[in-house]
């Protein structure tokens, strides 16, 4: 599988609070931010560093530095915005794009309503952010939009992924790895992830 799941007791602990229907908006946002930071660390495990020379108080050494300018974060609105805080805490100089998308409540097909990315997006490695990968429809359309702009390297970061969504993305875009905090067991009849955490956008923004 092209999906990498963070496998860590602390993440499982945080997920158990996140999934709890009694967890309020403030704590929910904080947990999404925290898990997103850790996902970003994991997704950046293979990035190349530039060698620079620095002086510590004791000696001169050659060490690695990240050229933050080579990255862009692209949240899928709305819920992806909840992850942005976490990833820009880790890589504050990355550029940011936005893709507006919602799922039609009857067909479950994604509807795109906004697309704005940095001018030089084709030169950047893009981290696409959305807490929920359910049927995979939104992820596929978002990846398609980025590829149509010439983006060559994309990683998809989510909090919870359903096997159906992973399979769909893997089949269409095997070059796009998926980083998640959990792979849940299935989707219900309304295409919500089980056990999941409910509607991520509504829980982040307190809209229900």
Q: Would you please indicate which residues are annotated as catalytic (active-site) residues?
A: 103, 107, 199, 202
Number of residues that bind ligand URA (CB under 6 A): 9
Please list every residue from 6 through 65 that binds ligand URA, using CB under 6 A: none
Footprint of ligand PRP on 136-175 (CB under 6 A)? 136-139, 165
Distance CA 139, CA 90 (A): 23
Which H/E stretch holds residue 144? helix 137-148
Q: How far apart are CA 84 and CA 66, in angstroms?
A: 19
Residues in contact with ligand PRP, shown as a per-residue x/- string from 74 to 113 under the rule CB under 6 A: --x-xx---------------------xxx----x-x---
Closer residue to ligand PRP, CB minimum distance, 59 or 106: 106
Among 23, 112, 199, 205, binds ligand URA (CB under 6 A): 199
Q: At what angle do helices 25-43 and 9-19 cross, to 10 degrees?
A: 150
Q: Is residue 192 at the binding interface for ligand PRP, with CB under 6 A as the rule?
A: no
> What distance in Å separates the CA atoms of residue 37 and residue 14, rounded to the nearest whole number?
13
Could you give the CA distance from residue 208 to residue 199 in angstroms, rounded to a whole number?
Answer: 9
Near ligand URA in 154-193, by CB under 6 A: 192-193
146, 151, 200, 204: residue in contact with ligand URA (rule CB under 6 A): 200
For 14-61, the DSSP string reads HHHHHH-TT--HHHHHHHHHHHHHHHHHHHTTTPPPEEEEEE-SS-EE
Cis peptide before 78 (omega within 30 of 0): yes
How many whole angstroms separate alpha carbon 106 and alpha carbon 157? Answer: 26
Q: From the list ligand PRP, ligand URA, none, which binds 169 (C-beta under 5 to 8 Å, kind-based)? A: none
Q: Least separation, in Å, of the C-beta of 86 and ligand PRP?
A: 15
- Please report, as residue ranges, which positions from 62 to 101 form the binding site for ligand URA (by CB under 6 A): 79
The residues that touch ligand PRP, with contacts defined as CB under 6 A, are 76, 78-79, 101-103, 108, 110, 130-139, 165, 191, 199-201
The residues that touch ligand URA, with contacts defined as CB under 6 A, are 79, 132, 134, 192-193, 196, 199-201
């Amino acid at each position: 599988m092209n999906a990498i799941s963070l496998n860590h007791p602390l993440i499982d602990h945080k997920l158990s609070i996140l999934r709890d229907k009694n967890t309020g908006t403030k704590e929910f946002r904080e947990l999404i931010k925290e898990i997103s930071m850790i996902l970003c660390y994991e997704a950046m495990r293979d990035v190349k560093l530039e060698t620079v020379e620095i002086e510590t108080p004791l000696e001169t050494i050659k060490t690695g530095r990240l050229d933050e300018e080579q990255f862009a974060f692209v949240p899928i609105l709305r819920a992806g915005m909840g992850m942005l805080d976490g990833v820009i805490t880790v890589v504050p100089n990355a550029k940011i794009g936005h893709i507006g998308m919602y799922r039609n409540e009857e067909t479950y097909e994604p509807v795109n309503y906004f697309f704005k990315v940095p001018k030089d997006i084709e030169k950047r490695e893009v981290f696409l952010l959305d807490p929920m990968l359910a049927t995979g429809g939104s992820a596929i359309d978002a990846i398609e939009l980025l590829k149509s702009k010439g983006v060559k390297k994309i990683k998809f970061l989510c909090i919870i992924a359903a096997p159906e969504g992973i399979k769909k993305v893997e089949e269409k875009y095997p070059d796009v790895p998926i980083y998640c905090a959990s792979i849940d067991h299935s989707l219900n009849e309304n295409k919500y992830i089980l056990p999941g955490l409910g509607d991520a956008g509504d829980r982040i923004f307190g809209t229900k």
